[in-house]
Structure 1
Amino acid sequence: MSASRIAKVALIGVAVAAMAACAPRRPVDGVVDGGGSSVNVPPYPSPNGGGVEGSGLGATLPGSANDFVVNVGDRIYFDLDSYQISPEAYPRLDAQAAWLQRYPQVTVRIEGNADERGTREYNLALGARRAESIRNYLIQRGVSAGRIDTISFGKERPIAQGSNEEAWARNRNGHTAIVSGAQ
């Protein structure tokens, strides 16, 4: 076998290994919350409405970042080792798309996050896939791709402290942050 053929085979092997490392993993049996009970993540708003009650964020100016957070919601949650958007998140993402269409001057950054389990590299890749899933959903709903940027924070920016299923569930999220253009 020639050196160039060996190099080609090695390059293919590296590419396959890299793709396998980024593929979603199946949850390991027994890695749910010890008692088998369901985990509570923050509720999504009902389709008919209203904002997040008791947010303490004060009065909202239409088209402001505060308006987006309070009346639409800026975060969706993902299952363990998944970047698939759940049907429970559709109403929130549909509301985000409608709000962004109402305020075309606004640009956003989708931040993909993961829980603390797994390697830094795995969680950065998973966060990137989560952010891209949200971006693609918003684009399919009519938001211009040029208005949406993505970034992955992996496990570096948890919103819930703790090493338990409830904290992990809250930290597996995609956050839509207003970057510019809001009033």
Structure 2
Amino acid sequence: MIVWKKPTAAALLLTLAACAQPAPPVVQAPVVDPYANAAGGALYQGDLAGGVLGAQATAEYFNNSVGNTVLFPANQTALTTEARGILARQAEWLKTHTNFSAVVQGHAEETGTREYNLALGARRASAVQEYLIAQGVGSDRIRTLSFGKERPREVCSDEACYANNRRAVTVVSATGAGS
């Protein structure tokens, strides 16, 4: 008579290990800087699969590093010294990245009528557009749009909120990608 004994855990592991196939070699993907191409320059549409990541990463870089927003004093469209500094960086970026276009969105605080704020937002967007064109960006690459008080950055009724809502925002997108 044959008596079967329960296999020990060690015996079971040895059996499984003998049947296992060798592990595939580990291949590490190269580290990719999302803001630079192989030549060290900024990404352009088409640099990565489908071009979408390249365009999105480049626009994100514009927003975070160049600066996409300038602020205005109450009821004003004149560019401050700080705004001109931001816009000079935007102009340089746009001149370097010729496959991107821009829409300048004008905004206003919540005080005043809807009509007044739409007109004020339009004048702010135009002031930014004119400055960028004067810095050498092609006029065919910049459009303007006014939201007036309809899209506030902050919602409350004090001067700090109002100051953040008096702005123009430059939104860049790759040419031919819905711009």
TM over 0.5: yes
Q: Shorter chain as normaliser: what TM range? A: 0.5 to 0.7
User: How far did residue 182 of structure 1 move?
Assistant: 9.6
Q: Which residue of 1 aligns with 2:168?
A: 174
Residue type of the alignment partner of 2:96: R
Distance 1:59 1:179, change over 3 A: closer
User: How far did residue 68 of structure 1 move?
Assistant: 0.4
- Separation in 2 of the partners of 1:59 and 1:155? 35
Confirm whether residue 91 of structure 1 aligns to residue 122 of structure 2: no
When normalised by structure 1's length, the TM-score is 0.65
CA RMSD of aligned residues (A): 1.8
Match of 1:103 among 97, 107, 126: 97
- Separation in 2 of the partners of 1:69 and 1:59? 14
Match of 2:155 among 146, 161, 178: 161
Q: Which residue of 1 aligns with 2:53?
A: none
User: How far did residue 180 of structure 1 move?
Assistant: 2.6
- Separation in 2 of the partners of 1:90 and 1:111? 16
User: How far did residue 178 of structure 1 move?
Assistant: 1.1
- Separation in 2 of the partners of 1:182 and 1:81? 35
- Separation in 1 of the partners of 2:81 and 2:176? 28
Q: Return 5+ residue gaps in structure 2 as ranges.
A: 1-32, 37-41, 44-57
Confirm whether residue 143 of structure 1 aligns to residue 109 of structure 2: no
Q: Which residue of 1 aligns with 2:73?
A: 79
Match of 2:110 among 116, 125, 130: 116
What do residues 102-125 of structure 1 show as CA deviations (whole Å, max 9, x unaligned)? 001100000000000000000000
Overall identity of the aligned pairs, in %: 40
Paired residues in the alignment total 126
When normalised by structure 2's length, the TM-score is 0.67
Q: Which residue of 2 aligns with 1:65?
A: 59
Residue type of the alignment partner of 2:167: N
Larger Rg: 2
User: How far did residue 60 of structure 1 move?
Assistant: 3.9
Q: Which residue of 2 aligns with 1:47?
A: none
Q: Return 5+ residue gaps in structure 1 as ranges.
A: 1-57
* 8 Å contact kept, 1:97–1:142: yes
User: How far did residue 89 of structure 1 move?
Assistant: 1.1
